[in-house]
Amino acid sequence: MKMNQQIEQQIQQWFSHFHANPEISWNEIKTTAKIATILDRLGVTYRTFSDVTGLVAEIGSGTEVIAVRADIDALWQEVDGVFQANHSCGHDANISMVLGALLYLQGYSLHKRIRFIFQPAEEKGNGSIAMMERGVVDDVTYLFGIHLRPIEELPFGKVTPSIHHGAGVFCEGKIVGGDAHGARPHQGKNAIDLLVAIHQFIKSIYESPFEPYSVKLTNMHAGGESLNIIPGTATFAIDVRAQSNEVLTRLQEKVSGGLAHLGALYDVEISWKWNDYTPAAEVSANAANLADAAIREVLGDEHTAPAVITSGSDDFHFYTIKHPSIKATMLGVGANLEPGLHHPKMSFDRDALGVGARVLAATVLRAATHETRGLQ
């Protein structure tokens, strides 16, 4: 897929717009409208939804559908002391690369339908579920995603055919004990004691050291402005991650069992719920081989990186968990991205956008013209 200077410039312009206009999950109203305007100008048919943000576009013809997914939401985080929407995960880049791939593919006669899924709410972990509920992958055979990678994973110029994300889930809980005067601690049930106990408990959770995993408290609130009141109520959150879905399930069971035990031991009420589960990657060797061949074709062997294994998570993998017949992979693009994903001042080499668009287009074109048979 040879570089087209006009397309490369257009990708940069799109990125500048999306970067300057971030919107958080389920509120990507202007982002959806901007993508629709771009598609209108390109003469590409699409459909929106009355009840959720995001949209789905198609080019080509035929019965088989090959899909490409771009996540479109931004994070809500503190930047220079102000909380705001911020594209520090690179979804603005993902939108631009996917639109760029669409532009490149418009120059080919396609005998399969290429579907572009502009998905909301990846950061909430359930945007892909909403898209599946609206049937966007019911007839899909191949699914490709793309994402910039931090510099410690891939430098600029390197592209990997697959990202093996880990699984993740959040536990949100509440402790209800009893307030007491600071001079009479025996009359209450101090919720802070429970927070400390929970912290110590999760440090005693072990799995095999050959299995990457982590369990840690990420949020705790107890007490108010009065320093002479022992707080009986507190809230907490636990972030649980593992490289495999099986280990994550075991960790959840251990956390739930431990919280129930601590509640009984301290004679307080502890309630909790599990939110925003995202599964570990289920990568198709077939799809990854197509991507690998495309990277070598566009960039050469020296720029083709091995699979990236990361503890981060992405709701892209719900598509294959819910639809096992789909052959899917997410390409990773090196961009000298630093200090890291989700850092409020994240930055990267923007020339990586054109690289990603060309490789993604070449990958889709391979899937649309011939397959690597015999792989899962």
pTM value is: 0.86
Give the tokens for residue 185: 């601690």
| Distance of alpha carbon 107 from alpha carbon 297, whole angstroms | 18
In tens digits, what is the pLDDT along the chain, a chain of 376 residues?
789 999 999 999 999 999 999 999 999 999 999 999 999 999 999 999 999 999 999 999 999 999 999 999 999 999 999 999 999 999 999 999 999 999 999 989 999 999 999 999 999 888 999 999 999 999 999 999 999 999 999 999 999 999 999 999 999 999 999 999 999 999 999 999 999 999 999 999 999 999 999 999 999 999 999 999 999 999 999 999 999 999 999 999 999 999 999 999 999 999 999 998 889 999 999 999 999 999 999 999 999 999 999 988 899 999 999 999 999 999 999 999 999 999 999 999 999 999 999 999 999 999 998 644 333 3
Give the tokens for residue 320: 């294959």
Query: Which 3-state string (H, E, C) describes the chain?
Result: CCCCHHHHHHHHHHHHHHHHCCCECCCCHHHHHHHHHHHHHHCCEEEECCCCCCEEEEECCCCCEEEEEEECCEEEEEECCEEEEECCCCHHHHHHHHHHHHHHHCCCCCCCEEEEEEECCCCCCCHHHHHHHCCCCCCEEEEEEEEEEECCCCCCCCEECCEEECEEEEEEEEEECECEECCCHHHCECHHHHHHHHHHHHCCCCCCCCCCEEEEEEEEEECCCCCCEECCEEEEEEEEEECCHHHHHHHHHHHHHHHHHHHHHHCCEEEEEEEEEECCCCCCHHHHHHHHHHHHHHCCHHHECCCEEECCCCHHHHHHHHCCCCEEEEEEEEEEEECCCCCCCCECCCCHHHHHHHHHHHHHHHHHHCCCCCCC
CATH 3.40.50.620 fits 5-166+281-369, yes or no: no
Q: Which long-range contacts (CB under 8 A, 24 or more apart) does 202-207 make?
A: 202/238, 202/255, 202/258, 205/251, 205/254, 205/255, 205/258, 207/242, 207/247, 207/250, 207/251
Give the strand order in the sheet containing 327-337: 45-48, 55-59, 113-119, 65-71, 140-150, 327-337, 159-160
Q: Would you kindly state where each structural domain of the chain is located, as residue ranges?
A: 5-166+281-369, 167-278
CB atoms within 10 A of CB 8: 17
Q: Which residues pair with 213 in a beta bridge?
A: 242
The CATH class of 167-278 is alpha beta
